[in-house]
Amino acid sequence: MSSKEKILAAVKLNQPALQQLPDLGNLNAIQYEDTFLQFSTVLKTIGGTVVEIKNTDEIIEYVKNNFSNVQNFVTTLPELPEIKMLDEKLDAHFLENIEVAIIRALFGVAENGSVWVTDEEMKIRALPFICQHLAVLLHKKDLVNNMHEAYNLIGAKQYDFGVFIAGPSKTADIEQSLVLGAHGPKTMTVFVIA
């Protein structure tokens, strides 16, 4: 008997009588009067930066003014002509010197300040983790109240890899002192466009 068969047989023998799944519709999950206000308040609290913009040119201006080594900026967004487009074929290890990566987020979540990104938006999975600074473009209309609405929006969509990102990489492992930039980005800037 294989371990699989052994484990499954033991589970079947020992699991209790079937209990029904609860209906998530009964949760009355939190709603906010102003999802943008909530989103930006939370994101700032967890170390992120929120910048409201009217057009994508402002992204270029902002990153040039706030970060150095412009030759090491990359983007996956065609609307940022002055920033180098990410070469999708690149081996992820060559991204280690990326200073700023600018990508799109599909939506943001007001209750926790996170944004949802899949491999379609990052092209190379390591990109939003290995860059020194992460910048994300988000449309104001693409804000949901809570994680239940988030998963309703994701629904049965196909992705190979997806991630909720909420602020810069961080740790508080040394005496609970918060330090931004553990292994991943030291900053996260979300550009919110109306």
Q: Which is nearer to other proteins, 80 or 123 (CB)?
A: 123
Q: Which is nearer to other proteins, 12 or 54 (CB)?
A: 12
Rounded Cα distance, 171 and 134, in Å: 17
Instruction: In angstroms, give the least distance from the CB of 33 to other proteins.
Output: 14
Rounded Cα distance, 76 and 123, in Å: 7
CB atoms near residue 73 (< 10 Å): 23
Rounded Cα distance, 164 and 116, in Å: 5
Instruction: In angstroms, give the least distance from the CB of 67 to other proteins.
Output: 18
Instruction: In angstroms, give the least distance from the CB of 159 to other proteins.
Output: 6
Q: Which is nearer to other proteins, 99 or 162 (CB)?
A: 162
Instruction: In angstroms, give the least distance from the CB of 43 to other proteins.
Output: 10
DSSP 20: P
Q: Which is nearer to other proteins, 19 or 65 (CB)?
A: 19
**Contact present, 44 and 50 (Cβ < 8 Å):** yes
Instruction: In angstroms, give the least distance from the CB of 189 to other proteins.
Output: 15
Q: Which is nearer to other proteins, 66 or 145 (CB)?
A: 145
- Tell me the β-bridge partners of 85: 75
**Residue written as token pair 């484990």:** 7
**Contact present, 49 and 186 (Cβ < 8 Å):** no
Contacts of 184 (CB under 8 A, 6+ apart): 128, 129, 130, 131, 134, 168, 169
